[in-house]
């Protein structure tokens, strides 16, 4: 077991047989314990155990069985020092990214208990099974982004359960402190897709926050016309077209729409990508504002189904963010 | 008689009946999310796009594109979705879309 880097979190699920060969030792007596691993699979660990008292076997346990849970090294720190560590990792550009390192549903339940407070666990349980794991991932990314921000500003230990994310009537997420934790005013945006989630946190009143993540995948022909206005086609074609370019445009529009606080309102074509410069797109929203949006490409880590994603987030460039007259 | 800008002229126009529209919406859903078919999830009038099928916003936009392809200008899907509050979109059922389409055709 000690040679394995994953599956080291175990809980007992069964015992085949216990045989006692003498009276129960009194409290405080020292026993010797010998464990022989009899089988080890991806999800199960079985062992026979012998307890000896002063050189004489007192008790034999056969078929002690443990359930093994997904616990790759990336999850070690949050289990051991949750108040000092995150599952999500900060990325160039200041946003946070987390992957679902625990594809097995039972392992996810264990991780859920590590990161959610009581009220959040009820909210989790009330969600429909489809999409529940992504909701959890989004919460983790948001909590970690907020805690990272607090640590950057000299906060001491902050447990994941001290941060809660509330959605207002328009769907916008707001971080709150619980259990006595006070938060400075923060703006938060988060997004999830398949086995990944991202979050972006900035002091309230600064550059508007909007972030999106979308898988790079082929989509039906009709998607392009539903996403792009005719005016965007020349730029889209010049950038090579295809699924990747379409997802880059889409994610940039989503990020800008979130930064506006409105969402796309079912009309992605009204959010126009007007210029492109490498990994930066400019999006003009129906209000006439323009948002510079940065893009990055990330992929699932080994062990998860291979996928590539586009992440888009609004840049923190006050000077470039100004009102323009609608054309 | 309305004309349809649908390019595939050999496909018969879906009838105004809700069952026919439901079949059409189900087909469009399978085009957007092929795994729904693989999982054998039954699509009914009560199925909710976001809560039950876990459609994300790009899936909904793709769906409007698919439906737009099938129904042309007779149904303004972007306007329909834009008229809904976020909470309404989250709870939006297949039946609501089917009745909207049937209403536009009637």
pLDDT digits (tens, 9 = 90+) for B92-101: 999 999 999 9
Least CB–CB distance from A171: residue in B60, B68, B86: B86
* pLDDT of B7 higher than 70: no
Question: What tokens appear for B24 in the block?
Answer: 């059409």
C-alpha to C-alpha distances, B77 to A198, B36, B68, B72, nearest whole angstrom: 30, 22, 7, 10
Helix (H, G, I), strand (E, B) or coil at B48: strand
Interface test with A, best of B55, B60, B61 (most A CBs within 10 A): B61
pLDDT band at B9 (very low <50, low <70, confident <90, very high): very low
In percent, the amount of chain B with pLDDT more than 90 equals 17
Contact predicate A95/A199, CB 8 Å: yes
Domain range summary for chain B, segments of one domain joined by +: 18-105
What average pLDDT score do residues B16-31 get?
A: 87
CATH homologous superfamily of A73-320 equals: 4'-phosphopantetheinyl transferase domain (3.90.470.20)
ipTM exceeding cut-off 0.85 for this assembly? no
Nearest chain B residue to A250, by CA: B58
Which tens digit of pLDDT belongs to each residue from A267-306?
Answer: 899 999 999 999 999 999 999 999 999 999 999 998 899 9
Secondary element (H or E) of residue B105: helix B94-105
Nearest by Cα to A261 from A164, A188, A183, A166: A188
CA dihedral A133, A138, A143, A148 (to 10 degrees): 120
Lowest mean pLDDT among A146-155, B29-38, B51-60: B29-38
CATH 3.10.129.10 for domain A9-69: yes
Interface of A with B (CB under 8 A): 128, 130-131, 134, 169-171, 193, 214, 219-220, 222-227, 250, 254, 263-269
Residue B106 confidence class, pLDDT cut points 50, 70, 90: low
- Which CATH number fits the domain B18-105, given the four candidates 1.10.10, 1.10.150, 1.10.1200, 3.90.550? 1.10.1200
When the pLDDT of each residue in chain B is averaged and rounded to a whole number, the result is 78
Domain ranges of chain A: 9-69, 73-320
Q: Is the pLDDT of residue B39 over 80?
A: no
Residues of chain B neighbouring A267 (CB-CB closer than 8 A): 78, 81-82
Find the closest chain B residue to A193 by CA distance.
Answer: B56
Please tell me the predicted confidence (pLDDT) of residue A318.
Answer: 54
Give the pLDDT confidence of A133-142 residue by residue, as tens digits.
999 999 999 9
**Which residues in chain A show pLDDT less than 50?**
319-327
């Amino acid at each position: 077991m000690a040679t394995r880097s994953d599956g080291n979190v175990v809980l007992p699920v069964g015992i085949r047989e216990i045989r006692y060969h003498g009276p129960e030792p009194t409290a405080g007596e020292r026993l010797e314990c010998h464990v022989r691993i009899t089988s080890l699979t991806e999800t199960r660990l079985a062992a026979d155990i012998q307890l000896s008292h002063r050189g004489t076997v007192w008790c034999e346990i056969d078929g002690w069985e443990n359930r093994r849970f997904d616990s790759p090294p990336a999850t070690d720190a949050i289990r051991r020092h949750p108040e000092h560590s995150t599952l999500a990792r900060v990325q160039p550009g200041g946003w946070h990214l987390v992957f679902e390192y625990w594809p097995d549903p039972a392992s996810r339940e264990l991780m859920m208990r590590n990161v959610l407070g009581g009220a959040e666990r009820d909210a989790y349980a009330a969600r429909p099974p489809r999409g529940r794991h992504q909701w959890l991932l989004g919460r983790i990314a948001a909590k970690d982004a907020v805690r990272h921000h607090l640590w950057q500003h000299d906060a001491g230990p902050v447990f994941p359960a001290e941060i809660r994310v509330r959605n207002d009537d328009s769907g916008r997420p707001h971080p709150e402190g619980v259990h006595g934790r006070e938060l400075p005013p923060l703006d938060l945006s988060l997004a999830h897709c398949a086995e990944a989630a991202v979050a972006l946190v900035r002091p309230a009143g600064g550059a508007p926050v909007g972030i999106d993540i979308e898988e790079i995948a082929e989509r039906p022909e009709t998607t392009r016309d539903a996403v792009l206005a005719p005016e965007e086609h020349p730029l889209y074609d010049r950038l090579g077209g295809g699924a990747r370019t379409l997802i880059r445009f889409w994610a940039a529009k989503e990020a800008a729409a979130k930064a506006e606080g409105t969402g796309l309102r079912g009309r992605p074509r009204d959010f126009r990508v007007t210029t492109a410069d490498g990994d930066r797109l400019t999006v003009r929203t129906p209000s006439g504002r323009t948002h510079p949006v940065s893009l990055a490409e990330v992929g699932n880590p080994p062990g998860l189904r291979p996928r590539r994603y586009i992440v888009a987030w609004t840049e923190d460039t006050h000077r470039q963010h100004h009102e323009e007259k609608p054309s | 008689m309305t004309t349809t800008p649908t390019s595939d002229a050999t496909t018969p126009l879906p009838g105004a009946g809700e069952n026919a529209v439901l079949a059409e919406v189900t087909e469009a859903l399978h085009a957007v999310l092929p795994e729904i078919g693989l999982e054998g999830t039954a699509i009914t009038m009560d199925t909710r796009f976001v809560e039950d099928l876990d459609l994300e916003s790009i899936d909904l936009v793709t769906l409007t594109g698919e439906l737009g392809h099938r129904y042309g200008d007779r149904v303004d899907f972007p306007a329909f979705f834009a008229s809904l509050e976020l909470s309404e979109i989250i709870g939006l059922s297949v039946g609501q879309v089917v009745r909207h389409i049937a209403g536009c055709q009637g």
